[in-house]
Structure 1
Amino acid sequence: MDALVEEAVKKAAVAWLTVPGAGPAYLVWCAWLGGSLLVVSGPGEQSAPGLAETPTADVTLRGDHGGRIVTWPATVTRIDPTSEEWAELVPQLAAKRLNGTTDLATTWAERCVVSRLIPAGGTHDLPDDSQAAPPRPSSATRVPKRPFRLHKVRGATKR
């Protein structure tokens, strides 16, 4: 594994995933366990469009100062709730979850997908431009109110 990828994933709590055919990259909560990045998605958890169905994805991680430092290709597999892999990794993943319930692994087994993203080797070159884009439309936006003023502002008067 690339040394930069190895160092970045050990510190990662979130990652941006780019799934072929699923639109722009999206942010997910994740944890590095067993030589792979684990992501939980499904009802009651985070949305990860297309992740459960794809065999590959690109993972982008940030550095200590918040900027992108590495993007790497990953092989994506689903962890079967009846497997030894589940028994080993998912309880550790549940323990890393903030505000988790006591029986989180059972809940995930019943209604969610735990995806395992294994580095496929190498990294992608970082872009030269900022890749800034206008905000996507959202129902969460609103027209701001006029600013509150404590005192009435009057025009300049002559004496």
Structure 2
Amino acid sequence: MTDRTAGSPTGADPLVDEAMKKAAVAWVKVPGCPAYALWCVASEGALVVVSGPGEQQAPGLADAERAEVSLRGDHGGRIVTWPARVTRILPGTEDWDQTAPVVAAKRLNASGSSADLVARWAAEGCALSRLSPAGEPSAGKDLPDGSLAEPPRDAPVLRATRKPFRLHRVRRR
């Protein structure tokens, strides 16, 4: 049996390493919560996710120790799922000072500068979570054959559909 992690600079599975480098969105499942699609940034052999007020919602992630991460390929299908160790990066630490500006610089559609964004995250209690590979990934034959689709969850962004506007009266025969 060969060591699949031997060629990886981070010690993780090469498939996980490559998928993390290309990932912009990851499906993250915390025990006791449904999986959420979360925007993420690859950093030092892990994925970093920001959540909290004014950012994406990730129930349970900030307080979790473990999570399950699924990444997709270019074709849109899942290519790998791996267990992750969740580490919260706290404001005022050296890790925060190094990681938060990198994540803020890659945040799309943010108002203000990266420094302003990092300051807002710290002030409003946003969570910066590092998801590091912590076990054997499942890929290929280990993935389920059936769909894991779930019905849509309730969200405050849903709106009632309006009737279409009609300029004139439609005659029925």
Fold shared per TM-score above 0.5? yes
Q: Secondary structure at the match of 2:15?
A: helix
Q: CA deviation at 1:135?
A: 3.3
Aligned positions of 1:138-157 closer than 5 A: 140=158, 142=160, 145=163, 152=170
Aligned mates of 1:118, 1:10 — CA distance in 2: 13
Structure 1 residues 82 and 137: alpha-carbon distance in aligned structure 2, compared to 1, 3 A threshold: closer
Equivalent residue, structure 2, for 1:42 = 52
Aligned mates of 2:49, 2:161 — CA distance in 1: 36
Which amino acid letter does the alignment assign opposite residue 94 of structure 1?
A: A
Aligned mates of 1:31, 1:133 — CA distance in 2: 26
Structure 1 residues 147 and 133: alpha-carbon distance in aligned structure 2, compared to 1, 3 A threshold: farther
Equivalent residue, structure 2, for 1:5 = 16
Aligned mates of 2:167, 2:109 — CA distance in 1: 41
Which amino acid letter does the alignment assign opposite residue 54 of structure 2?
A: G
| 1:107-129 C-alpha deviation (Å, 9 max, x unpaired) | 11122110111110211331111
Equivalent residue, structure 2, for 1:110 = 123
Aligned positions of 1:59-74 closer than 5 A: 59-74=69-84
RMSD of equivalent CA atoms: 2.2
Equivalent residue, structure 1, for 2:102 = 92
Aligned mates of 2:145, 2:136 — CA distance in 1: 19
Q: Is the 8 A contact 1:34 1:89 kept in 2?
A: no
Q: Is the 8 A contact 1:2 1:121 kept in 2?
A: no
Q: Is the 8 A contact 1:62 1:69 kept in 2?
A: yes
In the alignment of these two chains, the number of paired residues is: 154
Q: Is the 8 A contact 1:16 1:61 kept in 2?
A: yes
Q: Secondary structure at the match of 1:92?
A: helix
| 1:32-88 C-alpha deviation (Å, 9 max, x unpaired) | 012211011111111110001110000111110111111110000111212111111
Aligned mates of 2:128, 2:135 — CA distance in 1: 22
User: Does residue 119 of the first structure (1) align with residue 163 of the second (2)?
Assistant: no
Aligned mates of 2:161, 2:117 — CA distance in 1: 40
Which amino acid letter does the alignment assign opposite residue 110 of structure 1?
A: A
Which amino acid letter does the alignment assign opposite residue 75 of structure 2?
A: H
Note the residue ranges of structure 2 that are not aligned, 5 or more in a row. 1-11
Q: Secondary structure at the match of 1:72?
A: strand
Structure of greater Rg: 1
Question: TM-score when scaled to structure 2?
Answer: 0.79
